[in-house]
Every structure is written in C-alpha cells, then in structure tokens.
Structure 1
Amino acid sequence: MWCLKLLLPLLLIVNDVSSQWNVWVPRDISAMTDTCVVIPCTFMYPSGIRPYRGVHGIWYYGQPYPQLFPPVVFKTRTDVVHESYKGRTKMLGDLQQRNCTLLINSLGPEHSGRYYFRADLGGANIYTFPDFAELKVLERPDIDVPEEIVSDESLTLTCYAPDNCPDMSPEIEWMYTDYLPDPEFSSDYQEEGNTVVLSRTLVFTPRPVHNGQLLGCRIYYPNTTLVYERLVSLDIKYAPRSVWVNVSSEVMEGSSVTLHCEVDSNPPPRISWRFGTQELLWDTASNLSLTVDDVTPAEEGVYTCVGDNGYGTMNTSLYLAVKYPPREPVVNDTLTVLEGASLMLHCSTQGSPPPTLTWLKDGELVGAITADELSVLEIESITPQGDGQYRCLAENEHGRASSSLNITVEYAPVLLDESKCTVVREGVQCVCIATGNPEPTIEFYLPDLNVTINETEGRFNFYTHTDGQTSTGMIKLREKGERASNDGPAVNVHCSISNVYGRESVLLELQQEKKYLMAVIVGTIGGVAVIAFIIAAVRYVGHNNKKENGFPRQDVVLENPALYYSAVKKDKQNLRKKVGEDGDFQPAGSLAGMERQELNYAALELSGPREGLSGRGDDGSSYAEIKAK
C-alpha cells in the first residue's frame, strides 16, 4: 500500500519530464535511530536510449563519483556493499519503471549524510545524478523552540517525530507540564515530498517563575522498546520584577559604606547606581555594589538602583544619613550699640542629628536652649550690663562647637557714689569717678579760683586714670595757712563728666574719713608737739615778713598752682587705705570744724619752685602758699 502511494506521483512526473537524464529525491529526510527510512526516488533518461540487458542502479553514500570509491549502499548487479550497509538496504522501487526508491533498516548515527543514485542502462549509458537526498538520523526528537520567549506572551512549542518507516508508527507526548498555566495540546500530520512528519504542539503563557523550567518531549513506538526523549530549559525573558537594596542606613562622617543592589530579571539587566541625577556606577550583571569612601555630609541623600534589561525598568531607593558633629556656628559680627537699643542675635549651624543651641553671656546661660539649626536671641532695650561676650554653643551626641561675638554698649556718663572730697593729712582730697562708654572725660572746676583743671590745662599736673569704661580724676587741696576753724575747711570743687552722649557737673561734698580721724587721735604726743612747734614758727615768720614789707596783709593767688596727685583705684576701701598710709598726721584739734569754714590757703604742687613763693613740704614736694577768703 505504502509503495503504491509513492509510485502514483512518480508516474505523473515521468510523463511531464523531457527526455534528459534527471532524478527526483527528497532533499531532506529524517528517521530515528534503530528505525528504518524509505528514500523515495524516481529518475529519467533520454528517450532515445534503449537499455541494454535491463536497467540497473547503484546508491552511493557521501559523493557521486565512483572513481573516488564512495561507499556503496545498494547495487542491483551484486550484493557487494559497504559493510555498514550489509543486510540493511533494499530497493523498493522498480528500476524498469524508473523508480529507484531505497529502504534502509536499523539506522545508526553513522548513516546520516548524502545519498546519490547512479543509473546503469548498459554500455556507455551510465549516469550518476548530481542531486542527492540528505538523511538525518535522530537520536532525540526535534523541538521547535522560538528564539525569544517573553514572559506573559503566548508560547508555542512543537515536537516532531519522523514517520518514514513503513513498519513502525511513532507517538508523541509532552512531559513535565503539570505546573504550567492552562497548557493546550494539539497534534498534526505533515506530508511533504513523500516524507512524513508527525508533530505535537504545546501552547501556554509563561511567567517569570517558569524561567529555567524543564519541559520534555517523548517519542515512542508502540509494541517496541524504542523510546526517545528530549528536554529543553525555558529561557523566559522578563523585565526586572524586583530590585533589592540595603535598607536606609546611618554612617559617621569620614567612614566608608557599601550599598548593595540585586535585580531579578532575564536577561541580566544594566544596573546603575544614581545619586540624584548623577550616575555613579553601572554594570551589566544581576547585582552591583557601590562603595563610598570617606563619606561627607554632602553625600547624604537618596541613592537609587535602576535595573533595565530592554524588557522593562525598575528601581528602588534608599536614604543614606551621614552623622557628624556640629559645625562652627555662624553668629553676628561684633556689635557696638547705644544703650536702650533692641538686638536680635542669630546663631546658625549644621549637624546630624540637629544640635541643641545654647546662648551664654560671659559664661552664664541667657535665653532658651533650642534643638534646631537656628537660634535667635532677642535683647530688648539693652543696658550697660548687657555689655560683654556672647557665645553660641552647639552640641549633639557626636561633638560640640561654638562661636562668640562681643557687644559693646555705649551710654552717657554716670557719676559713681565714690566721688567726693575727704579730709586727709595734707588737706582735702577730691576724687571724681565716673563710668560711661566711651570712657568719660573728667574736669575739675574751682569756682573760687576761676580755674578749670583738665588734661589741656598745662599749668597743672592733672591726674586721671582710665580702667575700661571707668575714669578716675583726683586733686588734693593742701592747707598751709592759719588753722582752720573748728567747723573745718570749706571746699567748693565741681566735677564735670562728659562723653559724646552727655555731660554732667556736680558739686563734690566734703566727707571726713573716719579712718583718718582715728589715726589723728591715736597719733603720738611727740608728733603733735613737733607739728605745733612748726605751725607756731611759720606764723611768727609770716607776721614779721608783713611788718618788714610795709604793707598790710592781703590774699595772694598764684597764677599756676599745681595739684598734688596719686594713683586712685575704684575700690573705696583701697582709696582710703592709701590715704591712711601717707605717714604722719596733723593733730586732730587742728582739723576740727573744717567743714563749714572757708579755705584760707592751700598748697598746690608746681612744676618747679618759684623764688619767694615756694617751699618744701613734709614729704619733700614743692608747694606755694596762696590765700583765699
């Protein structure tokens, strides 16, 4: 039956061909090992040739040229064939009918190759046809797998089994399909060029999870032990379906950190690490690590891993927090303000975690402690006590930093309580102490003498001392004339203090120092006697001089009286102590009642002695006597 089906198309071809040497064989034909194959064949020769002693034929393997001694597969004149074909080949066609169909049994892989037919019509009418049939002896089934399998797109797989052996019919089944999503199966029987192929098709929609899964096709022949199998591993292309990175992390400034990224996709993606819009690193791989050395606060932020394999893109981000101690705070510049002004001091810094900001003035806490990177200290209507150093201290768990500024408060001068005139051993000492910013200028005015004593008054040795914003001025009025009355000497000394913001003038009151009076009372009797003697001698000499000059007694005022001065400290107790250490004291009786009496005379220190008017004091200083009513 199979041979009759084969000969019908061959006869049709014979009627149509011209009278030339010609052959028809299938170009490709296949069979499974250990089975058989039928190679359909028909040939033509010129019509003018009359076969001599019938038509004979030869099948060669490999090449058509007998002179090269190719293996003989089959030969009609003799059974001398190549040993690999002994007992395996048989001519199924009738050569007289131009049918050269060949059967080969018990196929092995070594039988794969090209087969050529040679027609022998006797005499010189021998012709080897150049056309050939190429046989493929299969050890495993053929599976048609698409070059590209994409996830979520329908996939069709076809398994083929050749059916070119008349005595054996194959069957096909798919293996390992239990976990496929809704698989569909179908069979087909294809016949082309007198060759037959049986196929079994599997259709399903793969998912990424099926990547790498094994599927198998099995060919078996009923009633035989022949079974052939082939496995394929599915290469499912899918876009990145997961991108894994480190969780957000914290690192210290200056340390190193490694960020890992893994992408699940097929094929492996192009992985890139990005910081903002900047691409830091990339590679084509399934994972990629980014190492950041010597981390700085500028590298804090969002890091993104992007995976792209041409089938899709996916990314995942993490936040890298950089911890560091506070930076040196930025504060206002040093300020000079006027008393009563309102200020806002700003302090800003950076730190991670955000630092606490504390304002200190001269080491003492002022204002509130804030947990932020900006702190504002408000000072309303500043007073002179607000003058000083202000420091902003920033602290977090990793360290501290601070910055300072100075505030200078300028204000009008203020006279201090320590300003006064006091009775001392030599006479009356007047001290004027004032504070202000800029430091005050101090002037003394003696209305009775119509004299203003300041630094520009070159006739006087004027003593002043400045200590920061405090100015001190001092003069001494020395009594050298007649004894003062019991009410004490009368003083009329004005102190003027001034700076660019104001001026004030006050009359200094006379106060008797208790310490000085106590020293006078407990003075030695010898000291009192000596002082009394000196006073008597002075009065006597003065009385005689008046008589000799021939003019009555009158007051004398020097044009250039000098001031006795010494260093004065602000501390009242220190000032009194210095007064009490001057040496000997006058008797207490000679100073009784000085407070209400006018000053009869005073000894003022000069820059140099003047003839007739100068003398030497007990302490070696020069003085001149003047009288004032």
Structure 2
Amino acid sequence: MSLSIRVSSSVSCILLSHSSPKITLVVFYNTFYPSPLLTPQGITALQHVKSWSINVPTTIHAVEGSCVVVPCQTQPHSWVTWYQYHTLSYPVVYDKLNPDAVKDQFRGRTSVPGNAAEGNCTLVINNVRGDDNNLRVYVWIHPDLTKQKFYDQTVTIIVERHAPIISVQKQIVDEEFFHANCSIICSCPFSPPPLHWSISSFLKNSSLMAFSQKVQGQWLYTEMMHGLATYEMHKSTMRCSAQFTTLTTESQQITLSILYKPVTVTLIPEKETVMEHGSIMIECTVNSNPRPHVYSWLRRQMDQLSEINSTQRRMFFSNITRDTSLSCIAHNEVGLGKSNWLHLNVQHAPVILPESSCHLTGEVLQCVCQARASPNAFIYLTIDGNNSLPSFFNVVFTNKTNVVSGEISGLAEVQTIVTCTAWNSLGNDTKQLSISSLSSSLPVWLSILMLPGVAWLFGCAVFIYRKHCRNRLVDFAPFHRLWLCL
C-alpha cells in the first residue's frame, strides 16, 4: 500500500514501504522555505546534500543600554534571517526582505551589517533592554537548498547592567598634574556611551583622552582626565556617569585627598589681653594636608627676635612686655607657611610720652600732652596748680589706639607752670611740661647778618646799569626798569 503525505506546501512525500520499523520517504523539492524543517524521529530524508557550517558562540554578554554584536561566520550566501528560538513558532528577529515580519520587540533594533559574499552573518541588536536577557537566537542561511539544522546552534544573550568605575592616582599634590580614569564596560565596539564628569570647579587646565580595549569578549571604554590639582580641591568629591540611549548609570563617588603645604596659618590667643609681665597661651591653627610636624615660634620684643622650635601647635609665653609680637611658621612634608605677626594687647599703666611740651608765642600758650596706656588713659592738665582751667583756654582731646592726647591753648605768661596727669585702672603718671618761647619778629643778630648782603646786591645793580644801560637809556633808569638792560 502506498500513502501520500503532505509535509509542506513545497514538499511531497510518497510512502514506499512500511514493512520494516523504518519508514522510507521519497522527497520531491519545489521551493524550500526559510523556516527550519522539523523531521520526526525515525524519518530519513533523502536530499541533495551540500556541506554548510556556521560559527557562532553559545553565549554572549550584552550591556543594557548598549548594542550587542552576535558574531556569525559561514560560507558566502545571499542573505540571512535570524530567529528567536521557540519550540512551536518561529519569531523573526531580523529579516531583510520582509521587515514587517520582525517581532515588535526587535523591530528597528536589529541589523546584519556584514558582507554576505564573505560569509559574514553577524547580527547587531541596538539598545539592549532588560527583557532581552536570556534571549536565544539562531541564524538561517539563504538560499537554503541544503540540509540546515542551525536552530540547534543557538546563541544565548545574557544582559547585564554596568556602572562606570572611577579611579584616581594614589597621591595628588597641590599645583601638580594628576590623572583620573572613568571606565565603562560596553558590548558595542563602535558606539561607546558618552561619559560625563562631576568634578571640582577648582581643577585647572583639564583635558580628556579616550581609548578602548577588548576584555573577555566585551569592550572597556576609558576616558582619562588630566588636570592641575589645587589645594581647594581637598575633600571635594568626584564621580562620572555613562549616558546610554535608554538609561544613565553612575560611578561611585570618591573623595579627593590633596597634599598641600600650609596655606593659612593663624595665631589665636587664649585671651584678648594680657597684663604686662604676665603670660599667655597661643594656638597656631593651620590649613594644610598633612598636618604640620614642626612649628617654629617667633617672638619679637623690644626689637629683639627669638625663635623656638616645637612639635606642639600650642605654646605658652611668659614675661610679656608691651610691644610684644608673635608669629608661627608651620612645616609639613610638602612645604611651610608663616602667619602674620600677632601684636599682643598688653595692659599697662600710663606713661607720658617725651614729646609732651608747651610753646609760648608772644602771650599765647599752647600745650600738648600725650600718654600711652592700655586701657586708654584719662588726661587732665593744670595751670599753676589749679585743677580747673581758665574759661578763655581751649581744650581738645583725641584718642588713638593706646595713645591719648590733650591739647590746650590760651593767654598766659612765661612763668606759667603746666602739669599733665594721665591715669587708668592700672596706675598713673604725672609730668610738668617744659615751656619754650617763640618770637614773632626776626632776631636782632639775624638782621645784622643780613645788612652786608643787601649792600652787595645794591652795588651789583649799579654796576650792571652803568655798564650795559647808559648808552641805551637817555634818562636815568629807575631800578625797577633795570631788567630791560639785562
């Protein structure tokens, strides 16, 4: 008995015998469709046999947001179709001739850019998504006039999400160049994601250099940043991000440590004032990295300079006198920095300054008394022992830092006695001011010395007139016209 079986629209089979356990089919070919032929177990197909082979990996890792390249190599062909592996149907991943047949999940995202004449059947999937994970695909070669079982050679795509990795060199020094790397793993060799840096605004003269390398079937894309470090960057943060088509991933945040010499050195006294011949504790605060290991303490007192080296940032000073100034030099492994001079506010009793005195011009007396003290002193002046000044005297007081001045003026006699007293909470000082007389006219001796000079000038004028002007002037020329003859 013969039985005709319709296997597909293009293949007819005639049953020749069924007397043995094996069924024999005679196959007549019309046109073979690109869909794979499922052969029931125990059926032997008689075909024109041509040797075809493909070379594809069993698994490949893709990065979400990137593209994935599924390498495929076979003999020269006309075109290929890629399918998603399925036990009951044939979902199309890529079909050049019938793009509408491509499954919605892959439409517009797949391509086969290789040269078919060279046997390249590589598949590219753009914008890899999370739901592409564990996708199994296989290729079908056209024309397919041979026995193909490429659905047995599937490629499993494993989707991973990667964030950039940021790193900096171990030691960064102020005013020196340093570099930082931002690297991202991607599965798309010809379109790495753009990298964006989040860095300190104090970075100077920065530039970027990019390169990539293949690592375990994927590509490591790296941007290296060069820049001039500044101490203001110390403890600032840095990170980078990768901008894929459908998502953005960020690196971990790192905190920069910049080595720099002391840039701000400040002296802080434990109290604002100190009593003369007393003591005080001073702290030297420093902005540096690392912390100073040596402090040089400078003391300037009565025009004498002394220095003390110490490992302590606090120093005790005793026997403080007025006009004492202190400074600190901090040293670390990078360099040194010096503070400004700190002028101590030393409290002491008033002292009347030597420039305090009086001047008598005619009958007008002017007196100035100056006293240095801390806190500022109060000044009062007496004339001939009277605590209250006459009403016709003018009095003016001025205050400066630690110096107070008192000035009086009025009619007085040479025999007047002026006394100045300055006092504050710590003591007082009293001094009788000296009086010097000033004349409003020239002294007699100065007038006598000037007479020979006047006579000499008169003689010179007469000589010049007689020699140069007599022949030119008919009348006697007055001396006020003598300049006409010169």
TM-score bracket, normalised by the shorter chain, equals 0.3 to 0.5
Question: Larger Rg: 1 or 2?
Answer: 1
- TM-score, normalization: structure 2? 0.38
